[in-house]
Amino acid sequence: MSLLEIRDLKVEYPRPDGTHLSVLDVPEFKIEEKSQVCIKGRSGSGKTTFLNVISGILSPTSGSVILDGASLELLNEAERDVMRGRKIGFVFQTFNLLPGFTALENVILGSVFAGDPNEDGADKKKRGCELLDKVGLSGRARHRPGMLSSGEQQRVAIARALMNKPRLILADEPTGSLDDKSGGEALDLIMSLASTSGAALLLVTHDPVVMARFSVTIDLAQLNKSS
């Protein structure tokens, strides 16, 4: 069985005239365990919406999203939050770090939703420190986001995404807010850490440099019948 399977997925929004705007119409899509897949598409093509539906942040108009054997449409909002916390690590383009928290605290926040209830604070701190070390920021654990460069903030966000040992990492234009050097380093980290952790990776981008790093690249326009 695939790690992720999408069937007859549709996302529509009502228009003032009573008609509907079709954003996504994806008959079928699958991702296997430990695979690394890039979805390419122009800005505004629905890439972020696609990831938000996969993660359960957004409910589709119709269709099914089956993640690790569980159908998300059968879960309520709280249950989807738990599923996302346990199964998915999300890396955002704009980092989404809390400015009043240190790098380590931001990483540990990744365990707030559906973290191991039997894991105490010391264990969480230890794992958070280990993850910061893996992304090369062991010396920045007490720094707040405003004290970090954009590249360092994205590294913190990558570490946070791995905090709960996810089965699937979703990355939404993760190099889009970075310069070429920092973007390349962030992409190296995401791909290598996904591989070593055994997580599958689904990354969306419009950047041909990023696309070239993947052996499997799919055009969203070919998946999406509404485009």
The token pair at 157 is 């966000």
Beta bridge partners, 123, equal none
The token pair at 217 is 């690249």
Structural domain span for residue 143:
34-58+85-223
Q: Over its length of 227 residues, how does the chain's per-residue pLDDT go in tens digits?
A: 799 999 999 999 989 998 888 999 999 999 999 999 999 999 888 999 999 999 999 999 999 999 999 999 999 998 999 899 999 999 999 999 999 999 999 999 888 766 666 677 888 899 999 999 999 999 999 999 999 999 999 999 999 999 999 999 999 999 999 999 999 999 999 999 999 999 999 999 999 999 999 999 999 999 998 77
pLDDT at residue 117 in the model = 63
**Is residue 207 in some structural domain?**
yes
**Is residue 137 in some structural domain?**
yes
Per the listing, tokens 């997925």 go with 9
pLDDT at residue 47 in the model = 95
pLDDT at residue 115 in the model = 60
Instruction: Report how far residue 130's alpha carbon sits from residue 163's, in angstroms, rounded to the nearest whole number.
Output: 10
Instruction: Report how far residue 34's alpha carbon sits from residue 224's, in angstroms, rounded to the nearest whole number.
Output: 24
The domain total for the chain is: 1
Query: Any idea what the CATH number is for the domain that residue 174 is in?
Result: 3.40.50.300
Strands 217-219 and 20-31: unpaired
Instruction: Report how far residue 155's alpha carbon sits from residue 187's, in angstroms, rounded to the nearest whole number.
Output: 10
pLDDT at residue 116 in the model = 64
**Is residue 130 in some structural domain?**
yes
pLDDT at residue 18 in the model = 85
Model confidence, pTM: 0.94
**Is residue 1 in some structural domain?**
no
| The residue type at 20 | H
**Is residue 53 in some structural domain?**
yes
Terminal Cα distance for the chain, rounded: 29
Instruction: Report the 10 Å Cβ neighbour count for 25.
Output: 19
pLDDT at residue 226 in the model = 79
**Is residue 20 in some structural domain?**
no
**Is residue 12 in some structural domain?**
no
pLDDT at residue 112 in the model = 78
pLDDT at residue 111 in the model = 85
**Is residue 64 in some structural domain?**
no
